Structure 1
Amino acid sequence: MWYDVISTQVLADFEYLLNNYPFKNNEEKKVIFLQLLMSDIEHYLKEDCIGAFLNKFHSEQLKVNFPEGIFTITQYENSFYVFKKLVENKFPLDHNLFLLMGCRNNQKEYLEFITQNFTVTDEILEQALDQIINSDSFGESSTDATQIYLIKYLLEMLNVNCKLPGTSDHDWLYQECFENVPPAAKYFYTDDFDIAILYDQGYWEYISENYLEDEDYESLYLAALDDIKNSNLDIDFEQMKAIFIDLNMPAVAQIFSH
C-alpha cells in the first residue's frame, strides 16, 4: 500500500495516508520510512515526503540501522539532496556509511559535504580511498574523471605517503591505483613518496604482461609512466631503465632515458 502511494509521486496522496494510517508502533514507522528512502521516485518529491514524515514524527522514532540500504539510496541520481534533507532535519544517521557508499557509487557530493561538515577519521578516509581505487563500478584501467577527482581529493586530505597497504595481490595501495586508475597515480607523488616502491621489478613485470603488451591499454600506461618521469621525485632513471630492459620492454625503458 505505501509503495503504491509513494510510486504515484503525488505528495497529497502520501500526506493523506500519513495522517490517516493507524501506525501500530515505531518499528512500523521505521519500515515505511526506510521504504520511502529506498524508493526510486524523483528526489524533490522524496524530499517533500521526508519533510512530511519528520514533521509528524520525532526523528528518534524513525532512527533506523540500514547499512544495506545506504548503498541502494546513494545509487540514485541526485540522492545527495535527500541525504542533505535528512541532515538539515537533524535526522540521526551514520555519515561515515553515507561517505563510503557515496564514494563507491561515484557521487562526489557526499565526500565534499561530509568532510566539510562532519568529523571524519583518517581510517574512514583511507577506507574510502581503497574503495574508490578498487571499485568495480568504474571498469578496468579507468579514466573516469570523477573517480580521479575523488582520489585526488582524498590524497590531499590525508596527506599520505604511498605506504598505505593494498588489499589485492599488490603490497601497496599506490600500486593498485597505478593499475586500476593510471591517470590518478601521479597524485601520490609528494615529498613523502617512498621511491623504493618504484623499483619493484615484479610489479612492473605484472603491468607489462597485462597492460603494456596490450594495444588497448598501452598508451594509457605509457602516459602514467611518463608522469613518473616528469614528477619531482628523485628517481634513479638508470635503475628504472634497467628494469624495463630486463623485461624486454625497450620502448618503455626509453621513457627513462635522459
Structure 2
Amino acid sequence: MLIQQAHEVEEAINSGDIESIRNDLDFRVLTSIIESNRFDLVEIIYNHFKDTEPMEQLIFNAVVESAGVDITPTAIQCLNFLKSLDKGISYEFDDEDALYHMCQIPGRVELFKLMLDMKADIPWGYVLQVSCNFICRDTIEFLIANIQVSNEELNLAFGYLVNASVTSCYHENSDQTEIISWFINKLNVDVNLTTDSDYAWAYLDCFINAPNAAKHFYVERFNSGIINSEDFWAKFIEAYLEDQKFKQAFAQAFEDLRNSSIDLTELATLFDRLGHDALAKELLN
C-alpha cells in the first residue's frame, strides 16, 4: 500500500507495521505529517529509521516544503529538535520554488532564524529577492541584519523591490517607499542600476511603479541622464494624457522632480520633441 498522508502513517504505526513506511519514506510523507501538525508522528518515525535513513535532512526538507503552505507549531518543533541533536550536520536546501512560497507565509522569520542558527546552506540571496518582490519587510530587515549580502545580491534585490509585483502606482506602499530609501541611503545600493525590465533602469522602474519613492534616487551619485529616456516618456505621456487616475498618481512625483537639483532642460526639450511642450511647462516648470 502506498503511504503518502499523515493518517496512513498513523494507521501503519498503530497496526504495528511501521516498517511498511520505509519504501515510501521521503520528505513528502513527512511534509504531510508536519502540515497535519503531528510532531508525535515525526518523533516515532525518526526514532525507528534514524540509523538507516537520512532522517535529519529529510525532516529539514519537509519543514521547508510544508512552510510554503502553512507554518505549523510542528515545523518549529522539528527545527528545534534537529538543533538539539547537535550532530554537526550541514543542512542544505536549494528548491527555489519551495522557498518562493515560504517567503509569503506569515511566521516565516521564526523559521529563517532557526535555519540561520543551524548554519543551513540556503540561497539567502534568492530569499532576499523574493522578499523584496513581495515587500516582506520583516524578512528583508532580518536578512540584511544577519546574513552576508554581496553588492550583486543587494542590487538584484533592489531591482525586485522597485518592480514589486504586489504594488502599483495607484496605491503607495509605505513599506516599499521606506525600504527603497533605506537601500539607497543606508545600504548605498547602486542608484544607476540597470534592470531587465522594459525601461532598463531601476530609477525609471521606480518612477512608474512607486512614483512617490523616486525622490530617494536624487542623491549626488545619481546619473540624471537616466531621466531623459525618450522611449519611457513617449509611453508615459500617452498614458498620462488618457487616464485621469494615472495623472493624479504622479502629481507628487513630478513635484519631487521639480524640487530636486536636477537640470530638467533636456527633459523639457524631449517633451517638446514629442509634441508636448505645454505638458512640459505644466509638469517640469
TM-score by length of 2: 0.76
Shift of 1:235: 1.9
8 Å CA contact retained: 1:63, 1:91: yes
For residues 205 and 87 of structure 1, the distance between their equivalents in structure 2, rounded to whole angstroms, comes to 47
8 Å CA contact retained: 1:151, 1:184: yes
For residues 275 and 209 of structure 2, the distance between their equivalents in structure 1, rounded to whole angstroms, comes to 21
User: 1:47-126 maps to which residues of 2 (within 5 A)?
Assistant: 47-56=76-85, 58=87, 60=89, 62-126=91-155
Match of 1:119, SS state, is coil
For residues 166 and 63 of structure 1, the distance between their equivalents in structure 2, rounded to whole angstroms, comes to 30
Shift of 1:21: 4.0
Shift of 1:142: 5.5
Question: What residue is the counterpart of 2:235 in the other structure?
Answer: 206
Cα distance, 1:161–1:80 mapped onto 2, change above 3 Å: closer
Question: What residue is the counterpart of 1:30 in the other structure?
Answer: 57
8 Å CA contact retained: 2:132, 2:160: yes
8 Å CA contact retained: 1:74, 1:101: yes
**What do the CA deviations read for 1:224-257 (whole angstroms, capped 9, x no partner)?**
11110122x2424x55445445543635522333
For residues 129 and 184 of structure 1, the distance between their equivalents in structure 2, rounded to whole angstroms, comes to 13
Cα distance, 1:249–1:50 mapped onto 2, change above 3 Å: farther
Cα distance, 1:89–1:168 mapped onto 2, change above 3 Å: closer
Question: What residue is the counterpart of 1:216 in the other structure?
Answer: 245
Report percent identity of matched pairs. Answer: 21
- The count of aligned residue pairs is 254
TM-score by length of 1: 0.83
8 Å CA contact retained: 1:9, 1:45: yes
Shift of 1:183: 1.4
For residues 191 and 40 of structure 2, the distance between their equivalents in structure 1, rounded to whole angstroms, comes to 54
Bigger drift between 114-123 and 8-17 goes to: 8-17
Bigger drift between 39-48 and 188-197 goes to: 39-48
For residues 41 and 172 of structure 1, the distance between their equivalents in structure 2, rounded to whole angstroms, comes to 36
For residues 118 and 62 of structure 1, the distance between their equivalents in structure 2, rounded to whole angstroms, comes to 17
Bigger drift between 4-13 and 172-181 goes to: 4-13
Match of 1:254, SS state, is helix
Instruction: Indicate yes or no: 2:281 matched with 1:250.
Output: no
Cα distance, 1:249–1:30 mapped onto 2, change above 3 Å: farther
For residues 249 and 222 of structure 1, the distance between their equivalents in structure 2, rounded to whole angstroms, comes to 18
Shift of 1:190: 0.4
For residues 247 and 277 of structure 2, the distance between their equivalents in structure 1, rounded to whole angstroms, comes to 12
**What do the CA deviations read for 1:201-244 (whole angstroms, capped 9, x no partner)?**
4422221112453122111122211110122x2424x5544544
Please, what is the CA RMSD of the aligned residues? 2.7
8 Å CA contact retained: 1:177, 1:185: yes
Cα distance, 1:42–1:162 mapped onto 2, change above 3 Å: closer
Instruction: Indicate yes or no: 2:277 matched with 1:225.
Output: no
1:150 maps to which of 171, 174, 179: 179
**What do the CA deviations read for 1:31-84 (whole angstroms, capped 9, x no partner)?**
442122221344544212211133346352643332332112212112011101
Question: 5+ residue gaps in structure 2?
Answer: 1-5, 7-29
Cα distance, 1:212–1:10 mapped onto 2, change above 3 Å: farther
Question: What residue is the counterpart of 1:5 in the other structure?
Answer: 33
Bigger drift between 73-82 and 242-251 goes to: 242-251
Cα distance, 1:211–1:25 mapped onto 2, change above 3 Å: farther
Match of 1:137, SS state, is coil
Question: 5+ residue gaps in structure 1?
Answer: none
Cα distance, 1:227–1:5 mapped onto 2, change above 3 Å: same
